[in-house]
Amino acid sequence: MKTYKEVDVVLVGGGWTGGILGKEFSEAGMTVVCLERGGPHTADDFSVPRMRDELAVGQRMSMMVNTTDNTETVRNKSAETALPYRRLGSYLMGTGVGGASTHWNGHTWRWNDNDFQIRSKYEAKYGKQYIPADMTIQDWGVTYAELEPYYDKFEKVAGISAKAGNVQGRKIAGGNVFEAPRRNEYPMPPLVYGYAGDLFAEAARKMGYHPFPRPTANASVPYTNPDGVKFGECQYCGHCERFGCEANAKGGAQMTVIPAALRQSTFELRTYAWVTKVERDASGKKATGVTYTNTVTGEECFQPAKLVVLCAFGLNNVHLMMLSGIGEIYDPVSGKGLLGKNYCYQTGSAAMLFFEDKHFHPYMATAGIGAIMDDFHGNWDFDRAPFGFVGGSTVGTAMYGGRPIQWHPTPAGTPAWGSAWKQETAKWYDRSMNITATGTVMPFRGNYLDLDPTYRNRFGAPLMRMTFDYQDNERKISAHSADVINRIATALDPTHLSKATARQSWSSVPYQSTHNTGGTIMGTNPGNSVTNKYGQVWQVDNLFIMGASLFPHNSAYNPTGPVAAIAYMAADIIKKVYVKQPGKLIHA
How many secondary structure helices (H) and strands (E) does the chain include?
10, 22
Residue 476's alpha-carbon distances to 120, 189, 485, in angstroms, are 22, 35, 14
CB 348 within 8 A of CB 513: yes
515 in catalytic set: yes
Q: Which helix or strand (DSSP H or E) is residue 125 part of?
A: helix 118-126
The vertex-410 CA angle with 407 and 415, nearest 5°, equals: 120
255-283 burial, b at 16+ Cβ within 10 Å, e below that, comes to: bbbbbbbbebebbbbbbbbbbbbbbbeee
Burial of 581 (0-12, 13-18, 19+ CB in 10 A): exposed
Could you give the CA distance from residue 424 to residue 430 in angstroms, rounded to a whole number?
A: 11
Could you give the CA distance from residue 196 to residue 430 in angstroms, rounded to a whole number?
A: 11
Q: Which helix or strand (DSSP H or E) is residue 155 part of?
A: helix 144-158
Could you give the CA distance from residue 430 to residue 355 in angstroms, rounded to a whole number?
A: 9
Q: What is the DSSP letter of 450?
A: E
Q: Is 1 helix (H, G, I), strand (E, B) or coil?
A: coil
Tell me, rounded to whole angstroms, the distance of Cα 281 from its chain centroid: 33
Q: Which helix or strand (DSSP H or E) is residue 435 part of?
A: strand 432-439
Residue of 319, 496, 515, 553 with catalytic role: 515
Could you give the CA distance from residue 109 to residue 99 in angstroms, rounded to a whole number?
A: 19
Could you give the CA distance from residue 259 to residue 497 in angstroms, rounded to a whole number?
A: 47
Helices 195-206 and 472-491: angle between axes, nearest 10 degrees: 100
Furthest C-alpha separation in the chain: 72
Tell me, rounded to whole angstroms, the distance of Cα 258 from its chain centroid: 19
Q: Which residues does residue 218 pair with via DSSP β-bridges, in sequence order?
A: 250
Q: Write the DSSP assignment of 287-353 as a string of letters.
A: EEEEEEEETTT--EEEEEEEEEEE-S-HHHHHHHHHHTT-SPBP-TTT----BTTT-B--EEEEEEE
Could you give the CA distance from residue 212 to residue 197 in angstroms, rounded to a whole number?
A: 9
User: Considering only CA atoms, which of 256, 151, 14, 152 is closest in space to residue 562?
Assistant: 151
CB 495 within 8 A of CB 387: no
User: Considering only CA atoms, which of 191, 239, 181, 185 is closest in space to residue 215?
Assistant: 191
* Active-site annotation, residues: 515
